[in-house]
Amino acid sequence: MRKLLNDPADLVKESLAGLAAAHGDLLRYDAAAQFVARVDAPRQGKVALISGGGSGHEPMHGGFVGLGMLDAACPGEVFTSPVPDQMLAATKAVDGGAGVVHIVKNYTGDVMNFKMAAEDAADEGITVESVLIDDDVAVQDSLYTAGRRGVGATVLAEKLAGASAERGDDVATVAGIARRVDDQARSFGIALSSCTPPAAGKPIFDLPEGEMEIGIGIHGEPGRRRAPLGTLNEIAELLVDAVVSDLKPDSGTKVLPFVNGMGGTPQIELYALYGEVDRLLRARGLEPIRRLIGSYITSLEMAGASLTLLALDDELTELWDAPVHTPALRWGA
């Protein structure tokens, strides 16, 4: 392994401790209950937003805790769901009396554990609304998922629902914003390499150089097919085709393309990819008016990229522009 690592069993905890040491103005790390929360949570009367899932996708989710985004994040071990006790502890820690929204990526373990936590929280009198994110158009069912997987739209939902909560919306409205993002977003990704989970010490799948996995999941789940590695322009076409043909936006729709790196693809390539994606979207009559480019939902050091396309409306655009101050996303603050 080519990794900066002590004992692999300590990596997640060490990384969260480092995150808190770096961004103590924004968040604190509860090492006993294993969650990260905003330093100013709970805020009385504000809906709290929580997400979580396996680690290895950083900056998601811990890097999105802060003003205008998440109130807490519950990280599991690498590529492993957090347990219900984490979500319950986080829910109780950040509830300000106005209810809590759980943003849950559609993986069987995450869904089950967030459901148990929501039920336990309800028993303690906390209102919880759960929103399922399932934006990956690659496959219907997958290794860890019934239905579509939740990927890049999660980042956008956390930003937009976070802005909704920050402006004082009630719990149904905040959850509604997250659901609207999931409804109006589609994602598709490709991998050029595997990644190596630290505890396993070996790649999770075998992908020879010169091939790509089309429709890859963020834990290396198989996609639609394997094919010879295409050119950047061919890959851009493939990504745009996959999301546009499924989302079917009207001509003239204002969109937010999110070109995401899987972790091991350098920025010089991501921006070249964005340039071609932007051109292809415009050629199809769509209008990119906002965008996000970078490695925000990753698979450790996997090489590859995904495209998430979100159809915007005036309200989502306004929520996108609202201030955010987290370790990984920051503007207007």
Interacting residues with its own copies (CB under 8 A) = 1-6, 11-12, 14-19, 21-22, 55-56, 58-59, 63, 78, 192-193, 209, 229, 231-233, 235, 263-276, 278-279, 291, 293, 295, 298, 300-301, 303, 305, 325, 327, 330-333
Residues pairing with 190 in the sheet: 214, 305
Of the pair 56, 215, the CB lying nearest its own copies is at 56
Nearer to its own copies, 23 or 148 (CB): 23
Terminal-to-terminal C-alpha distance of the chain: 39
Nearer to its own copies, 176 or 230 (CB): 230
Considering 23, 61, 102, 219, which one is annotated as catalytic? 219
* 102 tagged catalytic: no
| Closest to 100 measured CA to CA, from 155, 37, 30, 34 | 37
d(CA 88, CA 256): 33
Task: Verify whether residue 61 is a known catalytic residue.
Answer: no
Choice among 23, 57, 61, 102 that is catalytic: 57
Q: How far is the CB of 268 from its own copies (least distance, A)?
A: 5
> Smallest distance from the beta carbon of 13 to its own copies, in angstroms?
9
- CB of 331 vs its own copies, minimal distance in Å: 6
Q: Which C-beta is closer to its own copies: that of 114 or that of 296?
A: 296
| Closer residue to its own copies in complex, CB, 22/146 | 22
Q: Which amino acid is at 168?
A: G
- Residue 63 in contact with residue 114, Cβ under 8 Å? no
Nearest approach, Cβ of residue 272 and its own copies (Å): 4
Provide the minimum distance between the beta carbon of 86 and its own copies in the complex, in angstroms, as a whole number: 17
Query: Could you give the CA distance from residue 88 to residue 69 in angstroms, rounded to a whole number?
Result: 19
Residue 4 or residue 283: which is nearer to its own copies going by CB?
A: 4
Q: How far is the CB of 29 from its own copies (least distance, A)?
A: 10
Catalytic positions, written as ranges = 57, 219
